[in-house]
Structure 1
């Protein structure tokens, strides 16, 4: 399944693509209007991450956000979800500041998926490529691409956050 959109408000619209590239992998690609250093921080600093990660249209709230972005460090996200909160958690397996992150997704039970994100800066903008690799075709089929497709809106929110951060720092 492939999905593309240009939903960012304002002059600089960026396209997010979601593509199932194999039986086990989904890739989400987006150019973000900001330098890799700041985009990387938005992924690795809890106070920034919580401001853009949850798609607003889903009506969910991120109840808690713990991020220890170092190899062997843990993350834990708890969302309000009817009828009870849902937690997503895992371990960082790669952390290369401003260029690459990888973490496990351990809440799924049988076999864990791994998410790898690369950050490639060019002319003050950052190409973000997020790969979610599942242990099997069946695991990806069960997970679907809904979470990856939600990143379309989520990445729009990341662009909006970077605009707000630029305005607050006087850039």
Structure 2
């Protein structure tokens, strides 16, 4: 095999607050895998069939805007709880069958998973998008897979994923505002006012994105926070109301994001077509 024919390796690492056994089993359990494997924001998994044995196959179908996208493969190696190797293809987009290796290393608390996806050299341009896809899958899995009695530190770290994604969204918003300024025609009488608005918004959202990102990083770093003594009698209705407010915000965010994502994905496809 020449250098130009060698596959491109995409590696993603994620630390889980769950045992190696629990994480390994989740990838082979249809009920659990359907919640994180290949699911998209605006789609839903309508089929998840897994024949968990060497030579067995899997088929996971995500319905996106009324269209079914099947992700299929064959298991090449299964070594509980350390290693899963399988082929992977999405016929809608390519006839290539890639190779994916999942290595799971037990830790004192939880485990660390390293996923390596081998993509054909001709598809090297997809490297960043492939990494982004698997990163999202593992982050969703991290939300799902937690040992039965997580510590406060683990709980804080687990809640870092959503702020991190929100920071990414705000950063993209700031960049969009800033780039829009370059399109303004200086001779137009309305340009200065519009430019002022976009400049101010770009600066504000960039600062918010940085602060939210830094907070998410700080949360994620608390996974090994020592467990302190707690006084159960200090619990009050205020604690419950605060968490209810947080969960209600999540519900409303989810509902709004589904609508906004469908709208903005359509706009993105249009822009990509123009490009």
C-alpha change, 1:116 and 1:149, in structure 2 (3 Å) is same
Shift of 1:60: 1.4
Q: Which of 99, 112, 132 lines up with 1:114 in the alignment?
A: 99
Partner of 1:158: 141
Find the counterpart in structure 2 of residue 96 from structure 1: 79
1:41 aligns with 25
SS in 2 for 1:102: strand
| Aligned length, in residue pairs | 142
SS at match of 1:70: coil
Higher share of residues assigned strand? 1
Cross-structure match for 2:62: 79
* Aligned-pair CA distance for 1:50: 1.1
Unmatched runs of 5 consecutive residues or more in structure 1: 1-21
1:4-31 CA deviation, whole Å, 9 max, x = no partner? xxxxxxxxxxxxxxxxxx9611001111
Aligned-residue RMSD, C-alpha:
2.2
**What aligned pairs does 1:1-171 form with structure 2 within 5 A after superposition?**
24-54=8-38, 58-82=41-65, 84-108=67-91, 109-134=94-119, 136-141=120-125, 143-163=126-146, 166=148
Distance 1:79 1:33 in 2: 27
Contact 1:27 1:130 in 2 (8 A): yes
**Unmatched runs of 5 consecutive residues or more in structure 2:** 1-5, 150-275
Does the aligned pair in 2 maintain the 1:55–1:153 contact within 8 Å? Answer: no
CA contact (8 A) 2:34 2:60 kept: no
Is the contact made by 2:42 and 2:64 (CA closer than 8 Å) also made in structure 1? no
Larger relative contact order, structure 1 or 2 (CA cutoff 8 Å, min sep 6): 1
Give the distance between the partners of 2:105 and 2:127, measured in 1 at CA. Answer: 27
More displaced stretch, 99-108 vs 32-41 = 99-108
| Contact preservation (8 Å) 1:46, 1:65 | yes
Seen in structure 2, the aligned counterparts of structure 1 residues 130 and 82 have a Cα distance that, compared at 3 Å, is same
TM-score, with length taken from structure 2: 0.47
- Work out which of the two has the higher radius of gyration on C-alpha atoms and give 1 or 2: 2
Displacement, 1:162? 2.0
Is the Cα contact below 8 Å between 1:25 and 1:140 reproduced in 2? Answer: no
CA distance in 2 between counterparts of 1:55 and 1:86 reads 10
- SS of 1:85's equivalent in the other structure is strand
Runs of 4+ in 1 over 4 A off after TM superposition: none
Distance 2:128 2:118 in 1: 12
Taking structure 1 as the reference length, what is the TM-score of the superposition?
A: 0.73
How far apart, CA to CA, are the structure 1 residues paired with 2:42 and 2:109?
A: 32
Q: Retained in 1: the 8 A contact 2:29–2:50?
A: yes
